Amino acid sequence: MEAAKVTLDQSALSLKVGGAAGTLKATVEGGDAAAVTWSSSDPGVATVDANGNVAPVAAGTAVISAFSGDGYGLAEATVTVAPADAVNPAPVPVPGTGTGNGTEQPGTETPSVEDGKVVAVVNVETDAAGKATAALSEETVEAAIKALESAEGGELVIRVRAGETARQVELTVPAAALTAITGSSAGTVVFETDLGTISLDRDAFAAAAAEAGDDDLVVTIGTVASGSSFGELTPAGRQIAETLIGNRSVVDLTLTVGGRTLSNLGGGTIGVGLPYSPGAGEDPNAIVALYLSEDGAVSIVRDGMYDASSGRLVFQTEHLSRYAVGYNRLEFSDIGASFAKDSVTYLAARDIIGGIGNGRFDPAGGLTRADVALLLARLAGADTEQTAGASFTDVKAGDYFAGAVAWASQNGIASGFGDGRFDPKAGVTREQLAAMLVRFAGYMNWTLPDNGQRPISRTRMRSPRLPRKRPKR
């Protein structure tokens, strides 16, 4: 079957909140241009109508997707929406932090509201060793909580400004401040520095506060020279790090209370952001996050993605540790003209898919039922080696897909036939694939659009907004 091909007249749009809309024009080869269906990865940032008119909503980045009528052709454009021109409101005086007229005492600034988020800024000096130490005052927290009452987003950002020479930032949050924030309307608490960002949802922050008890919480974000950190890795881990990380910085992120490092935050969601400026010629789809474990292994964080609007690589994790930005572009000679080339690059960089050898991907090749189970298992980050085999007569323990098929069966994503077969090598049908994807979305706690006529692009499945609830495993 010859699939339609969609192209757009622009690959990127730059808009401004409150400004004019932009327009994308789609051209369809082998199909009807009038049948193109449009969607936005984040309608909260930018919307698109049936004619390709893109309207800015809020600051951020969204991907506009144009699908051909047959559902096979896809083209995408990145839309960057800048904030509206600033309107400076009269500052609210904060007891003990300043006069409210812009003259602040060293170390603090009056909390402000930016794009619906309450931002409390802590200024701190960096010592000769590159360490910046700061403490969040209870007065600043009190003012920030008051500002949250009128803010729309329910997000509290604690921004530490330490200067360019800082290599480690240590912020102390007093026990009283932890209690106050836990009892406030804050749904997300973000610790933001130039070295990295930690985002805790309400459950994670409450768990950290409970662990702290009467102790203070210490948030530490620091860079580690890649050479010194690589020396602690296994030979296999070192090879991966040298190839993918290179001379990029490794970032160490920790939460401690009473000298104890917190490892379990009650099943809450932890978001991480690592600042990064792509090098010349680097494809953002191939920028990946890597986890350097305590046992010396290095692995790719599969839900990491580069957010151009913030200049950060963002991902979610169940624990804090050492992470780094890496680059892992796999070259395929036969995807240059494919509508799916960006998707292929993104998934291949995260070891979710691979080629067929000799530098080829075979984009028009078919998928078997076993292939789909394997791709979904990898996308979910499932440990298929530890998954007990399913009782299918045609799946052997030594098959490369055995663990993935067992995982998909045990989690209700895929099932076999009534005679005990899974039929792993059979081509997956469109209806089987649709059913598996819907079940997989439920497993991942993803929310699908309620309009059945609006397609879902890959970007809807990996929104840069943090935090997102991870599946319970």
pLDDT reported for residue 35: 78
Degrees to nearest 5, angle at CA 89 with 88 and 94:
120
Which residues make Cβ contacts (< 8 Å) with residue 237, sequence separation at least 6?
Answer: 292, 296, 297, 298
209: how many CB neighbours lie within 10 A of its CB?
A: 22
Which residues make Cβ contacts (< 8 Å) with residue 414, sequence separation at least 6?
Answer: 369, 372, 373, 405, 408, 422, 436, 439
Q: Which of 426, 436, 421, 423 is nearest to 391 (CA)?
A: 421
- Please tell me which residue, 390 or 73, carries the higher pLDDT value: 73
Q: Kind of pairing, strands 12-16 and 74-82?
A: parallel
What span, in angstroms and rounded, lies between the C-alpha atoms of 173 and 167? 20
Q: Which of 19, 96, 17 is nearest to 60 (CA)?
A: 17
Q: Is the pLDDT of residue 102 over 50?
A: no
Residue range 361-384: mean pLDDT, rounded: 91
> Which segments within 124-187 are labelled E, that is strand?
131-135, 155-161, 168-173
State percent of the chain over pLDDT 70.
86
460: confidence class by pLDDT, cuts 50, 70, 90? very low
Give the number of C-alpha atoms closer than 13 A to the C-alpha of residue 171, restricted to the C-beta side. Answer: 30
Q: Which helix (H) or strand (E) holds 292?
A: strand 287-292
Query: CA separation (Å) from 25 to 49, 334, 354, 435?
Result: 12, 26, 32, 32
Q: Is the pLDDT of residue 454 over 60?
A: no
473: confidence class by pLDDT, cuts 50, 70, 90? very low
466: confidence class by pLDDT, cuts 50, 70, 90? very low
390: confidence class by pLDDT, cuts 50, 70, 90? low
Query: CA separation (Å) from 438 to 176, 389, 431, 454?
Result: 44, 23, 11, 15
461: confidence class by pLDDT, cuts 50, 70, 90? very low
Least confident residue range of 3-17, 42-56, 100-114: 100-114
Degrees to nearest 5, angle at CA 463 with 461 and 468:
95
Query: CA separation (Å) from 70 to 31, 74, 108?
Result: 8, 10, 57
- Hey, is 23 helix, strand or coil? strand
Going across the sheet that includes 197-201, the strands are 112-114, 117-123, 155-161, 188-192, 197-201, 270-275, 312-317, 305-307
- Contact (CB, 8 A) for 278 and 284: yes
Residue range 266-283: mean pLDDT, rounded: 91
Residue range 91-108: mean pLDDT, rounded: 43
- Contact (CB, 8 A) for 293 and 229: no
Q: Is the pLDDT of residue 242 over 90?
A: yes
Q: Is the pLDDT of residue 372 over 90?
A: yes
316-360, pLDDT tens digit by residue?
A: 998 899 999 999 999 999 998 888 889 999 999 999 999 899 999
71: confidence class by pLDDT, cuts 50, 70, 90? low
Q: Which of 38, 83, 36, 35 is nearest to 64 (CA)?
A: 38
What span, in angstroms and rounded, lies between the C-alpha atoms of 137 and 367? 57
- Please tell me which residue, 228 or 100, carries the higher pLDDT value: 228
pLDDT reported for residue 451: 53
Least confident residue range of 217-231, 275-289, 438-452: 438-452
Q: Is the pLDDT of residue 287 over 90?
A: yes
51: how many CB neighbours lie within 10 A of its CB?
A: 11
Q: Is the pLDDT of residue 95 over 50?
A: no
